[in-house]
Amino acid sequence: MKDLPLSVDPNLAHASTLSSSFYKDHGYLERSKDRIFARSWQWMGDLDPVKIPGAVWPITLLEGCLDEPVLITRDSQDRLHVLSNVCTHRGMLVAESPGNERFLRCRYHGRRFGLDGQFQSMPEFDGVCAFPTERDHLAQIPFGTWGPFLFLNLDPQCALEEFLRPVAERLNWFPLGELRYSPGRSRDYLIKAHWALYCDNFLEGFHIPFIHSSLNEALDYGSYEVELLPQGSLQIAVSKGAEGTFDLPSTSPDLGKKISAYYYWLFPNLMLNFYPWGLSVNVVKPLGPEHTRVSFRCYVSDESKLGAGAGTELDRVEREDEVVVEGVQKGVKSRFYDRGRFSVAREEGVHHFHRMVAAAMSVPG
């Protein structure tokens, strides 16, 4: 299928949604790997697997989409490194399982690297001209940390600080350092839909009264707020009652509001959902044109607040969303559907996302 330019009118009142071909044509998905995902900040989880000097942690970045082999290490001087996990000799994976090492040795022909990725030695290479060079080190991948979390980006278009600034500034009181990973509350959902349809659904509260009856009972729909950010958007869920709401500090711009959740979405596939009990991170991972994995990773800072507010029953709400997103997947493939109009009152977050997709897809790459 050919990849025509995508366009979305900047004026919400005039705009229509992305053409359904973006969700249907495989060419767009293939191109979005380089134009969207390989240029974006990806949340890699917390730093626990690389806490100790000598730690070696191989991962595959966005398995099923980018499939990029990455190696995270902590060297003997306690410095963190994010490296390409591909041997510079003939391309074998350097580390195949997590461990604790003094150096990295490729098991194919014995090339050795430091935990900082620097080439150290290679057997049987006497007589090889102009060797080694810079290209024989493992490639360094840009990365950064925020609280306990690691982010990496194969080709950054903005600094991590800039990407996270609106979150870090508004929630500068949030106890990031107290978050504890809760495996029992974390899980992956496999959704039979295009990744962007999952994001579309996340980006509006418009459907809450229609789809999420229990959540709708807890929230004050009329006070639901959306704020557009340079790299994403924020939705603020205001509660009907005081139960399950944040104790906001006097410095918060939201002081006086009964806020039960801050739902951040950061382009293209990261959702940071802050609740009074902690943080639910959702990472949307394309697996194919009609298949998406959404990883929910739950971090708790205050167990006593787990039972109330918008942050309860996350699994139920997720399943309710899944049903409609899978329904839309079937609908956008129809010969009778191409694009729809936006609610000015309720869908500016979706419009913003569509504008960002159209802009990213139009950059040559």
Interface residues toward ligand FES, by CB under 6 A: 87, 89-90, 92, 106, 108-111
CB of 87 to ligand FES, least distance (A): 3
| Angle formed by the axes of helices 348-362 and 195-202, nearest 10° | 150
Q: Contacting Fe ion (CB under 5 A), which of 46, 204, 321, 347?
A: 321
CA angle at residue 155 from 151 to 157, to 5 degrees? 90
Q: Is the CB of 119 or the CB of 264 nearer to ligand FES?
A: 119
Q: Is the CB of 106 or the CB of 325 nearer to ligand FES?
A: 106
Q: Is the CB of 126 or the CB of 169 nearer to ligand FES?
A: 126
Distances in Å between the Cα of 302 and the Cα atoms of 150, 179, 233, 279 are 22, 8, 25, 10
By the rule CB under 5 A, 200 interacts with Fe ion: no
Q: Is the CB of 321 or the CB of 347 nearer to Fe ion?
A: 321
**Number of residues near Fe ion (by CB under 5 A):** 1
> In the structure encoding, which two tokens stand for residue 84, read together?
């390409």
Which of ligand FES, Fe ion, none does residue 321 bind to, with CB < 5 to 8 Å depending on kind? Fe ion
By the rule CB under 5 A, 46 interacts with Fe ion: no
Residue 136 backbone class (left: φ over 0; alpha: ψ -120 to 50; beta: rest): alpha
The H or E element spanning position 74 is strand 68-74
How far apart CA 266 and CA 163 sit, in angstroms, is 8
Q: Is the CB of 109 or the CB of 333 nearer to ligand FES?
A: 109
Of residues 23, 32, 4, 1, the one with CA closest to residue 198: 23
Which of ligand FES, Fe ion, none does residue 109 bind to, with CB < 5 to 8 Å depending on kind? ligand FES
Computed from CA positions of residues 175, 71, 356, 311, in that sequence, does the dihedral angle turn out positive or negative? negative
Residue nearest to Fe ion (CB): 321
Where does this chain bind Fe ion (CB under 5 A)? Answer: 321
